[in-house]
Structure 1
Amino acid sequence: MKLLVAEDDPSVCEMLRIFFQKEQYDATFVHDGLAAQRLIDKESWDFVILDWMLPGKDGVLLCRDLRKSSPTPVILLTARDQEQDRILGLELGADDYVTKPFSPMELIARIKAVMRRYHIGVTSGQLPPSRTEEESGTTQLRHKHITVYLESRSVMIHNHEITNLTPKEFELFCLFVRYPRKVFTREQLLESIWGYDYIGEERTVDVHIKRLRNKVSTPDHMLIATVWGVGYKLEE
């Protein structure tokens, strides 16, 4: 796995380098945000880890700009443990965050959890189909005016193509389209999309739903509906 780490603390970088070598990760380390931006613009990465407080350009801005053009998974490293800071990072496109000081094994576990759900790597870039879809050879999901293309990870709604969904947003939308009349609780979405081993909060679901809703809805049609006191569903 080709991994970019932007972290300005040399001791943290050296510690991560040792653990990443054991995992056989192909990790590149940079120490400021401008260097990270150059590498993000120049090369493709399977995973990006960004320190929040980088010199030159901070990790939150890097994450925001990366999200404009790429669904590459991102984890933020941050000493900021206030809820509003974590929510800001998630709203700007981070897939997860790790609060400093942290254990390298915790970070690796979170990377593996994200990769396990996304199935993004050197040889894979697709959302795994369900068993029924595998057996039928299905490469599309359809519901009324919605078409989801599983191989290209794009969505067509009312003949308007949406290609900027992050991997988690795409998985969430696929789940809603597969079960258009089902109301999902936050706990069910955490288990289905983040996995049982995800160490997170239900607020994470709300943040991702908000981002997904903003991308797929129109002024006349709020496609992802909130069922108050229960959870979320696809609006019929």
Structure 2
Amino acid sequence: MTRVLVIEDDPIIGEMLTLYLAEENFEVRRVETAREGKSALCDFLPDIMLLDLMLPDASGTELCAEFRQLTAVPIIVISMKPSVTARIQAISYGADDYLVKPFSMQELKVRMEAVLRRTSSLSPVAQPIAVSQLSGSAPSSMDDQHGLALDLERRTIVLDGVHIETTFSEYEIMKLFYQHPNRVFTREELINAVRGIDSFVNDRAIDVHVTNLRRKLEKNPKEPQFIKTVWGVGYKFLKG
């Protein structure tokens, strides 16, 4: 049974979500604060999270970044803010999807299933928060490989200690590569990774993003050491 963590302080919306999802055969846990949500990541081990961005102890799109640093599970933001800017910020900070209140429960379910299908093919085992992180700050970067790391707070790539600025799509593609070294990704999978904001992305756009990443990261972009082309399939990131 799919486990859903609902982080929502509004009692009416929270109860509606809990009842509906339970009737749809999801296992649901609802909490009302960011602190309780972080604890639930550890002991409930959700498969997907519904996150309100206005909580009693924290608010704003930075919440997405905080939870994304703590877990790899999909995050769907549920918010009262309908602006395109709010959507872009939330997705830029790590959300996988964004729904504006009030929304259709049927639409929520379809979006949840779509996100779960996409992410389950990329990361079969969710990465829960470490217990040691509950009382301290989250890590700011992933482990170094080949002198290359990701700075999660600044959303930059760090190469030999130097921060490399990237576009949103370039960073999302590199993060996917980095989290799944040696795995071959098709262009379609890479399109899905950035489609949340780059709605016009296509196969050619993916090739351009990869070319730009190579220019920024490789000593010789024509003979790449990090991002390899798998002819007829897509690309992969090599881990030593």
Q: What are the residue-to-residue correspondences of 1:63-74 with 2, within 5 Å?
A: 63-74=64-75
RMSD: 4.8
Say if 1:218 and 1:40 are closer, same or farther in 2 by CA, change over 3 A: farther
Aligned residues: 183
Instruction: Kindly indicate whether residue 99 of structure 2 is the aligned counterpart of residue 98 of structure 1.
Output: yes
- Deviation, 1:74, is 0.3
Q: What are the residue-to-residue correspondences of 1:138-157 with 2, within 5 Å?
A: none
> Which runs of 5 or more residues in structure 2 are unaligned?
127-141, 153-170, 228-234
User: Which residue of the partner structure matches residue 133 of structure 2?
Assistant: none
Q: What are the residue-to-residue correspondences of 1:170-209 with 2, within 5 Å?
A: 170=176, 178=184, 193=192, 202-203=198-199
What are the superposed Cα offsets for residues 77-127 of structure 1, whole Å, 9 maximum, x if unpaired? Answer: 11111111111101110001101110111111100001111227xx9439x
Say if 1:82 and 1:112 are closer, same or farther in 2 by CA, change over 3 A: same
The 1-side partners of 2:143 and 2:36 are apart by: 33
- Deviation, 1:170, is 2.5
Aligned residue type for 1:77: I
Identity level (%): 26
The 1-side partners of 2:116 and 2:174 are apart by: 11
Tell me the SS of whatever aligns to 2:61.
Answer: helix
> Which runs of 5 or more residues in structure 1 are unaligned?
127-153, 226-232
- Deviation, 1:166, is 7.8
Instruction: Check the 8 A contact 1:67/1:166 in 2, yes or no.
Output: no
Instruction: Check the 8 A contact 2:53/2:63 in 1, yes or no.
Output: no
The 2-side partners of 1:171 and 1:34 are apart by: 30
The 1-side partners of 2:83 and 2:101 are apart by: 12
User: Which residue of the partner structure matches residue 129 of structure 1?
Assistant: none
The 1-side partners of 2:172 and 2:71 are apart by: 8
Say if 1:124 and 1:173 are closer, same or farther in 2 by CA, change over 3 A: closer
User: Which residue of the partner structure matches residue 162 of structure 2?
Assistant: none
Instruction: Check the 8 A contact 1:118/1:167 in 2, yes or no.
Output: no
The 1-side partners of 2:215 and 2:42 are apart by: 31
Instruction: Kindly indicate whether residue 120 of structure 2 is the aligned counterpart of residue 119 of structure 1.
Output: yes
- TM-score, scaled to structure 1: 0.58
Tell me the SS of whatever aligns to 1:29.
Answer: strand
Tell me the SS of whatever aligns to 1:34.
Answer: helix
User: Which residue of the partner structure matches residue 88 of structure 1?
Assistant: 89
Instruction: Check the 8 A contact 2:51/2:75 in 1, yes or no.
Output: yes
User: Which residue of the partner structure matches residue 19 of structure 1?
Assistant: 20
Instruction: Check the 8 A contact 1:72/1:166 in 2, yes or no.
Output: no
Say if 1:189 and 1:179 are closer, same or farther in 2 by CA, change over 3 A: closer
User: Which residue of the partner structure matches residue 56 of structure 2?
Assistant: 55
The 2-side partners of 1:111 and 1:14 are apart by: 18
- Deviation, 1:168, is 10
Say if 1:203 and 1:24 are closer, same or farther in 2 by CA, change over 3 A: same
Say if 1:161 and 1:53 are closer, same or farther in 2 by CA, change over 3 A: closer
The 2-side partners of 1:218 and 1:24 are apart by: 48
User: Which residue of the partner structure matches residue 136 of structure 1?
Assistant: none
